[in-house]
Every structure is written in C-alpha cells, then in structure tokens.
Structure 1
Amino acid sequence: MSISLQDYNLAGSQEVRHRVLRNTYWLLALSMIPTVLGAAMGVMFHIPVPTGIIGFVLFLAMSYGFIWAIERTKESAMGVVVLLGFTFFMGIWLTPLLSRTLGFSNGGTLIMMAFGGTASIFAVLASVATVSKRDFSMMGKWLFAGVMVLILATLANYFFQMPALWLAISVIAIGIFSAYILYDVQRIVNGGETNYISATLSLYLDVYIIFQHLLSLLGMGGERD
C-alpha cells in the first residue's frame, strides 16, 4: 500500500517530535545528577550562598547569564555541558533551604516528600500534556505575566517580611510552574520546540522551582528535637 508525500512528512514530523521529547526526558534525568551533587557539596562544605534581596538579585543575574549561554550553544554538544554546569550551580543555590530543612528532626523526610511531590506533579502533568487535545499554548503570555508579578512580589517581601505573603508566593509559584509543565511539554509534542536542550532547560526550571517552593511549604511543619 502506498502512502502520500503528506503522510510521509507527517510521519517524519511525528518521529522528530518523539525524538525531541525522548531526548529531553533523558537529559532532564541526567541534569538531576549535578543538581544533587551541587546540593550535597553545598550542605557538606557549608558553601556560603548569599540570601536576602542581594542573594535573590545575584541569583537572577547568574541564572540569566547561564540561560543566555545555554541558548547560544544549544546547537552543539557544548550546550549540554553548559546546561549541566547550570544545574550544578542551581544545586549549590539550594544550600540555605536544605540546611535549614535538615535542621529539623524530620528534615530528611520533608526533603523526600518534596521530591516525591514534585515528581508526581511532573509525571501527571506531562502525561496530560502529551495526550490531551486541549490547546495550552494560550497560557503562555498569562504565565509569563504571572512570573513577572511573582518576581516583584518576592522582591517586595524582602522589605516587608510578611509570612503570609511568603506563603502566598510559594503556593502561586507552584501553581504557575505546574501550568508551565503543561505548556512546555505540549510545545514539544506539537513541534513548537525542536531543540531538546532548550526544552530540557524549560522543564528543569519548572521542576526546580516547584521543588523549592514545595519544600519551603513543607518546612513550615518541621519538627525540632
């Protein structure tokens, strides 16, 4: 039975999308190794990580520097190297949060709960984005606006130090970046993102921020000896 050129092109396009999605998931899994190494080194060697508004601004500046470098090198193997370097840096930046959490008698349990919760959120939403017929592309501009508001709220609360606002920021951040998983995975599935390094970067940031804020929320239930 013969197939039309259109069917052949469609099959080829689907194969490319599946390959990009598969490579993205593999690289995302690989990126967790330097993240864990960076976090472990940060906690073990008490690497000083700036906190407060100065730390937040420095974190944003260094993160955007890495992101710029990743985008510039994403068409070569160097892009993978820079991406893994970025994930190592992100692991180190978890040091204050992890050290504070491990100060609780149930700190290890809280970290595993945050990890399990993040993995569950990703698995469910990535599956939904893969099989759903609903178009999530329209969420993009609203999610970006939400991130801008989130950054401004975070900066403002470094001055106001309102616990209720910190709580709200964490809850909203988890919601926004959970929605970003839907958006980012569907972009790959629909062919909107064809570079697996860029795709991995987007999903890594989604997962990292969800984990960070979920652990912050769970830390409110930390137990002292």
Structure 2
Amino acid sequence: MFDNTPVLGRSESAELATNKVLRNTYAMLSLTMIPTVIGAFIGMSLDFSIIALHPFIAFGVFMAVTIGMQTAITANRNSGLGIVLLLAYTFLLGVMLGPLLQHALHLRNGGQLVGLAAAGTGIIFLTLAGIASSTKRDFSFLGKFLVIGVVVVFLAIIANLFLQIPALSLTISAVFILISSGFILYQVNQIVRGGETNYVMATLSLFISIYNIFSNLLSILMSFGGND
C-alpha cells in the first residue's frame, strides 16, 4: 500500500498558500481605495482644461505614466517597494478621476450618479469574485480573448479622439465594462487555481478592472441619467 500522507500534505499546503494570496489580495485591494479616494478629492480641485485643449498629448502622457508605473510595479512585485509603487499608482489614477468627477458633480443629480456607479461597481465585483472563487470551472481560456479585447478598445479610443462620436464613446464604455468584468473573473479564478501567486500583481489587475468599471459606468450613467 502507498502512503498518501505526503500528497495530502502538499495539497493542503497549496490550498493554504492560495487562500493566503487571496486574503492578501483583498486586503491590499481595500488599502488601495484610500490613496484612490484621496487622489480623487485632490483631482476634483485641479484645473484639467489643458486635457481638453490637448487630448492627444494628454492621452499619450497618461499611457506613458500608466505603462511606466505598471512596469515598475511588476519589476518590484516581490519587495516592499512594489507595494509603495502600487499605492502611488492608485493615487495617480485617483487624481485622473478628477475631470470625470468634476463633470458628474456639476449635474444636479451628480452625487446620486457617483453613488450608483460606486454601488454598481461593488455589486459587479463581489458577484464575479464570488463566482470565480466558488466555481470549479477554469476561466483561463478568457486570457487571450480579454487581451485582444483591450487592444481593440484602445484602438477605438484612439480613433474616437479624431472622430468624437458620442455613440462610439458609449459603446467603448460598455465594452470596457464587459472586458473589465471578464478580467475580474479571470484574475480571481487564477488566484484560486494557483495560477497567480503574487498578491501585488493580483491587486494591480483587480484594481485596474474596478477602476475601469467605475469610470465607464459613471460615464454611461451621466449620458443617460444626468440632469443639468
């Protein structure tokens, strides 16, 4: 007869490690909301008129900062510096919510729309994270489709900088919400199945998805339910 004790030990150890990554990810994700909110309050007090005057330059700077920060976080994902960079990045993204929040809060029902967007984002995240962590289904097949979707959406964003078509903007926002929702399913499922063992990288991915869902959901709500 064979002794299965070592095998069971490895299985239990892997499960404990997975649960630890998931707990640390959720804890870090909660922590990132603090610099994000602080950044958003600061962003609401800033003058972003230069973005409207130079949208291409603003988009280029935003992408350069985003790629640079994500690269730096990835390079330092196993050290304390990675956590510091992650919190700094969430602060910057909070600041970049400034123009959207300024526009929203100038509407008579702007506060309600922001609240609805925040609540909707929370419901979407909790629902999808619950599904991804409880189902036995492997969502790793979503990875390639989601990456292709992101590339297509960014090409559409660049095109709309020239075209300025409101309907296309709404379509982009709706697709971005779907893609970001897919990333939540994918990322949480990866953690649960042991495919992602670094909570800094997992937090970064989930934060970006939550950020995109909130900002795009708020844009859609303002388009359809905003009262001047």
TM bucket, shorter chain: over 0.9
**Structure 2 CA distance for aligned equivalents of residues 80 and 49 of structure 1:** 31
Q: Which of 172, 175, 188 does residue 185 from structure 1 map onto?
A: 188
Partner residue in 1 for 2:227? 223
1:102-113 aligned at under 5 Å gives the runs: 102-113=105-116
RMSD between superposed Cα atoms in Å = 1.3
Secondary structure class of the residue paired with 1:97: helix
Greater than 4 Å deviation, 4+ residue runs: none
Q: Which amino acid aligns with 1:216?
A: S
The runs of 5 or more residues in structure 2 that have no matched partner are none
Secondary structure class of the residue paired with 2:220: helix
| Equivalent pair of 1:49/1:96 in contact (CA under 8 Å) | no
1:95 maps to 2:98? yes
Tell me the alpha carbon deviations over residues 129-162 of structure 1, each in whole angstroms, 9 at most, x when there is no partner: 0011111100100110000000000000010111
Deviation at 1:55, TM superposition (A): 1.7
Tell me the alpha carbon deviations over residues 62-97 of structure 1, each in whole angstroms, 9 at most, x when there is no partner: 001000110111111111110000000000001110
Partner residue in 2 for 1:197? 200
| Equivalent pair of 1:184/1:203 in contact (CA under 8 Å) | yes
Q: Which of 133, 158, 163 does residue 161 from structure 2 map onto?
A: 158
Tell me the alpha carbon deviations over residues 15-67 of structure 1, each in whole angstroms, 9 at most, x when there is no partner: 00000000000000100100000010111344667352322221111001000
Q: Aligned residues: percent identity?
A: 45
The runs of 5 or more residues in structure 1 that have no matched partner are none
Partner residue in 1 for 2:139? 136
1:34 maps to 2:35? yes
Tell me the alpha carbon deviations over residues 96-132 of structure 1, each in whole angstroms, 9 at most, x when there is no partner: 1010111101111110100000000000000000011
Q: Which amino acid aligns with 1:189?
A: V
1:60 maps to 2:63? yes
143-152 or 40-49, which deviates more:
40-49
Give TM-score, length-normalised by structure 2: 0.95
Aligned pairs, how many? Answer: 223
Partner residue in 2 for 1:145? 148
